[in-house]
Amino acid sequence: MENAVVKATSYILVHTPDILKEGGSTQTTTRKKDKDDAYLSKIDEHLRSFAEVVGYGPNQAYIGNIKPDQLNEISQPWYNKDNLLEEKREGKMGEIMPEREFYYLVKAVDVFDLVKLTEEFAQAGKEVIAKHPILNKMSLNIAGEKVVKIEELIDKGIAIPLKLDNELIGCVKQAHDTDINLNAHVIYENLISKASAVLALKNLEEKNDIDLKEVEYILECSEEACGDINQRGGGNFAKAIGEIAGCVNATGSDVRSFCAAPSHALVNAAALVKAGVYKNVVVLAGGSVAKLGMNGKDHVKKEMPILEDTLGGFAVLVSENDGESPVIRTDIIGRHQVGTGSSPQAVISSLVTDPLDKHDLKITDIDKYSVEMQNPEITKPAGAGNVPESNYKMIAALGVKRGDLERKELMNFVKNHGMPGFAPTQGHIPSGVPYLGHAMEAIKKGELKRAMIIGKGSLFLGRMTNLFDGISFVVEKNPGLKKAEKSLSDQEIKNLLAEAMQKTADNLLAELE
């Protein structure tokens, strides 16, 4: 059986300052405790403009306009206005969308009429949609509602306001009177996650000239859950997203494992394709509203912008071997097993060295490792340190211990086999997958031979187990299609049988004589 390939990728960001204020977990919990908290009053002073978000180096790396390693050439802090790059909202792999446009997409993915936009905002959407290369092809019907009606729903406590520049432009209302799984906040989070995933999928189509009608299966791997009181996380985001995007021939399901889910989903996709169950499988995820402004209090204390102001999303097409695209080595899979333990060394050993040992590969035989690619400018002010660098140092230390490299080479290994963190802290979004598009491009150009994608997750957050989680896989240069062994035609087989029967008959006659 041929290995599956990574055929195409896309990455999107959505600048969401007002959604951050309304729905981010840090903001909602703070507001619940004290609506007059000083932090809440300071948020507006620390929000970035869309231009600043677009020019931010890590964001340009995420959508493919620069390589992650090029961030080493930009002075820090990257958010300093003097260090911003050219404003390119369109990237080779995706785009950065402003909040105004995104609200129209949120309305468009709502099939139960739970999103209400004001008449004025809805009317203005016609011109906005017409100018967008993806939205203008989606036949979006954006209806409006009177402001008084929207305000009434919000005042009753059955709707979450939608705002733009602090002005009310709509709301998301609850889907049920008593079911907490269908309250306004849950619907709000789920529709926003769905909309950002649709945007990633449509970018996959647009940037790679893909026919979504050829997609047969969708694996959605965000951190959200949709269902009702009888099946809280029943799903299915995958088919809901495929319906809006036009994947008319696809079915699908959701994969969940906190931050590790995308890597699990990609391994599943590769296995399905390799086994011949499906020819084209899309793995995708939208963003997480709860993570917006998650470390905002620490950013405000340090007098810096609140950098967690963007939703992330991605989509990956896994297909049959085409002889060119990088292959996913399903025989080199790292697994954090139930009995592995949770020490950093045990985790990295199970995900990195154990699978390599089975194939007599050294740590240095992997050209690039993509670990938890969180942007350090977000995590360091909050006391979490430089997460990617810590992971690379652990891998390098294991390499020294194994004799794969000398101690003096440790920091060179971190630089050459790692990269700066460049992804938003959206939970599942930074966990290994952001580099897959860059790896695909570098492998096809001959700049890399192999890359390892590592997903890790914190299962204990669900209070069902104290276990950690993780899975890794290797993508490498395509060796080309195997030459098929020449098989005999039906007619040739018939001729051989006839010839054998004739010889048998001749031999019997000879014996009788």
Instruction: Render each residue's pLDDT in the chain as its tens digit; 513 residues.
Output: 899 999 999 999 999 999 999 999 999 999 999 999 999 999 999 999 999 999 999 999 999 999 999 999 999 999 999 999 999 999 999 999 999 999 999 999 999 999 999 999 999 999 999 999 999 988 787 889 999 999 999 999 999 999 999 999 999 999 999 999 999 999 999 999 999 999 999 999 999 999 999 999 999 999 999 999 999 999 999 999 999 999 999 999 999 999 999 999 999 999 999 999 999 999 999 999 999 999 999 999 999 999 999 999 999 999 999 999 999 999 999 999 999 998 989 999 999 999 999 999 999 999 999 999 999 999 999 999 999 999 999 999 999 999 999 999 999 999 999 999 999 999 999 999 999 999 999 999 999 999 999 999 999 999 999 999 999 999 999 999 987 555 567 677 777 777 777 776 666 666 666
Identity of the residue numbered 231: Q
**CA 295 – CA 454 distance, rounded (Å):** 24
CATH (one of 3.40.47, 3.30.70, 3.40.50, 1.10.40) for 5-476: 3.40.47
Cis bond before residue 434 (omega within 30° of 0) = no
**CA 35 – CA 179 distance, rounded (Å):** 26
Spell out a b/e string for 240-256, using b for 16 or more CB atoms within 10 Å of the CB, else e.
Answer: bbbebbbbeebebebbb
Question: Could you tell me the two tokens for 138?
Answer: 């989606």
**CA 506 – CA 317 distance, rounded (Å):** 60
Q: Residue 392, Cα to own-chain centre: how many angstroms?
A: 21
**CA 24 – CA 188 distance, rounded (Å):** 11
Map out the domains of the chain as residue ranges.
5-476
End-to-end CA, the chain: 53
Q: Residue 428, Cα to own-chain centre: how many angstroms?
A: 7
DSSP conformation letters of 437-468:
HHHHHHHHHTS-SEEEEEEEE-GGGGTS----
**CA 466 – CA 463 distance, rounded (Å):** 7
Question: Could you tell me the two tokens for 503?
Answer: 């010889």
Residues whose CB is less than 8 angstroms from the CB of residue 98 and which lie 6 or more positions away in sequence, other chains included: 14, 15, 50
Cβ–Cβ under 8 Å, residues 218 and 247: yes
Q: Which of 362, 351, 369, 355 is CA-nearest to residue 439? A: 369
Q: Which of 24, 15, 23, 78 is CA-nearest to residue 47? A: 15
Neighbour count for residue 211 (Cβ, 10 Å): 11
**CA 340 – CA 350 distance, rounded (Å):** 7
Question: Could you tell me the two tokens for 40?
Answer: 């809440």
Q: pTM for this one?
A: 0.93
